[in-house]
Chains A and B, each alone.
Chain A
Amino acid sequence: MKKTRLNAVHKEAGARMVEFAGFEMPVEYKGIIDEHLAVRTRAGLFDVSHMGEIIVEGPEALACVQYLTPNDAGKLAPGQVQYTALTTPEGTFVDDMLVYCLSVPDKYLLVVNAANTDKDFAWVKEKAAPFRVFVVNRSDEHSQLALQGPLAQEILQPLTDLDLGQMKSFTFAFGKVAGIDCLVSRTGYTGEDGFEIYTLAQNPEVIWKAIIAQGTPKGLLPVGLGARDTLRLEAKLMLYGNDISDKTTVLEADLKWIVKFQKGDFLGKSVLEKQLQEGLKRKLVGFEVVDKGIARPHYPVFAGGRQVSEVCSGTFAPYVKKAIGLVYLPIEYTEIGTEFEIGVRDRKLKARVIPTPFYKREKK
């Protein structure tokens, strides 16, 4: 099992460790609910060093990224970040990811899911073959910390030479954090304001400890993968393997906003265009469980007297205090307010399609 460079720090902090995507990772420190609420109301610090970092570099890097992804990477200037996907020729997902524009048109960083890093790297390498680019997997060298929550900027500013007040959402800059060279982006996977901090340094624990020291008096908590999952689901951020996969198209996942048909050719374009013309047969929707109980991944979903689907993501959401989840439903059941049933062991619970995201932070 792989370990991040922060492994010892987590164990010292009393984290409960689990295997995730081949890494030994903290699932919780104090408890999922406390950690979740800390991020919503104050701040939380995550070790997400398991995430994959793939660099595409060379004179045709932009052309290559454009071909691999549905969003328009041509809109990115250096220092900008974009949410997008790696798509199959069928318009389904190899993965979802962030693209960081390091240099136009010749250097891009792809930040991918830990569980998919090897698959993605092989995919990108293969599909990039016709382009004049190098593809390098630099995942093992990178550590990544995420500082998330309304107090994130206030906590990080004293530790960095970057002017965080000038840093807009979905941008990044190079600077020092706790004296260590980093790439800092205003991004995250929680639905809160916050930063993701990448470093190649061997001692990322210096950054971790500095943020803990700076943030603890303000109510910051270290946060494990348990609350990372409940936070991202409240904000309706996708989890590959649960909500999106190579069996679901980008349009079915209700991510039309990352598909830019006018940008030129890309993998899956013709299938997605056809799907758009013909109309979707099913779509990913958010639901709440109306009866008492919690829906979990793979629980069967019933509508019109038959099983129509199974739950993708489902959990108790600590901030909105409801059992919520995501499910692909036949299009005739996707209207807000539509009721359906979820099989929870020997019972059927009533559930209802509700607007998403389940949680949206108030913008300043």
Chain B
Amino acid sequence: MYPDNLYYTKDHEWLKLEGEEAVVGITDFAQKQLGDIIYVDLPQPGKVLEAHQAIGSVESVKSVSDVYSPISGEVLAANSELAQTPDLINKDPHGQGWIVRLKIKDKSELNNLMKAADYEKYLEGLEH
């Protein structure tokens, strides 16, 4: 269910490592919890983020949720498609629904993140 090539956080973000860069989005679990997403508040390129700092927010009909950076780094780009079609996050949360691309500051922080199997176990724990 959750791709093996991604890293995951307890706040339900995912991170895909691409060389020295990271692509970040929210997980399928997170989009299901939110429901129909209608608005995404995106950061400006150049913004420097610490791990766990809010990148922006995702709003659904029902609620709003902050998105936290899984890792420290600088925002290289935000997914501008989301301005017109925010429901890409619902349709393809781990792909076209990506939110930001970061320049990673310190790769060792990846060790703080979960792999797919651990994340799935974590979700099972939440459901009980």
Contact A292 B35, beta carbon cutoff 8 Å: no
Contact with B along A70-82 (1 / 0, CB 8 A): 0000000000000
Contact A316 B38, beta carbon cutoff 8 Å: yes
Q: Which of A275-331 contact B (CB under 8 A)?
A: 292-294, 296, 315-316, 318
| B103 → chain A closest CB, angstroms | 25
Question: How many residues from B make CB contacts under 8 Å with A?
Answer: 14
Q: Is B117 an interface residue (CB 8 A)?
A: no
| B70 → chain A closest CB, angstroms | 21
Q: Which of B54-97 contact A (CB under 8 A)?
A: 57, 59-64, 90
Contact A230 B39, beta carbon cutoff 8 Å: no
Q: Is A150 an interface residue (CB 8 A)?
A: no
Contact of B61 among A292, A316, A345 (CB under 8 A): A316
Contact with A along B9-34 (1 / 0, CB 8 A): 00000000000000000000000100
Residues from chain A with Cβ under 8 Å of B120 in the complex: none
Residue of B nearest to A345 (CB): B57
| Total A-B residue contacts, Cβ distance less than 8 Å | 37
Q: Is A59 an interface residue (CB 8 A)?
A: no
Residue of B nearest to A344 (CB): B64
Residue of B nearest to A225 (CB): B62
Contact B61 A230, beta carbon cutoff 8 Å: yes
Residue of B nearest to A292 (CB): B39
A164 to B64, CA, bound (A): 42
A287 to B32, CA, bound (A): 29
| A128 → chain B closest CB, angstroms | 38
Contact A296 B64, beta carbon cutoff 8 Å: yes
Contact B64 A33, beta carbon cutoff 8 Å: no
Contact B35 A294, beta carbon cutoff 8 Å: no
Q: Is A32 an interface residue (CB 8 A)?
A: yes
A34 to B57, CA, bound (A): 23
Contact A226 B59, beta carbon cutoff 8 Å: no
Contact A294 B36, beta carbon cutoff 8 Å: no
Contact B64 A32, beta carbon cutoff 8 Å: no
Residues from chain A with Cβ under 8 Å of B41 in the complex: 293
Interface centre among B59, B61, B63 (most CB of A within 10 A): B61
| B123 → chain A closest CB, angstroms | 15
| A263 → chain B closest CB, angstroms | 40
Q: Is A31 an interface residue (CB 8 A)?
A: yes
Please list the 7 inter-chain residue pairs (A to B) with the smallest Cβ-Cβ separation, ordered nearest first: A32-B61, A33-B36, A31-B36, A316-B38, A316-B61, A294-B59, A32-B36
7 CB-based A-B contacts, threshold 8 Å: A32-B61, A34-B36, A293-B41, A294-B64, A315-B61, A316-B39, A316-B59
Q: Beyond A27-B62, A294-B59, A318-B36, list 15 extra A-B contacts (CB 8 Å).
A: A31-B35, A31-B36, A31-B90, A32-B36, A226-B35, A226-B62, A293-B39, A293-B41, A294-B39, A294-B64, A316-B38, A316-B39, A316-B59, A318-B61, A345-B57
Binding site for A on B (CB under 8 A): 32, 35-36, 38-39, 41, 57, 59-64, 90
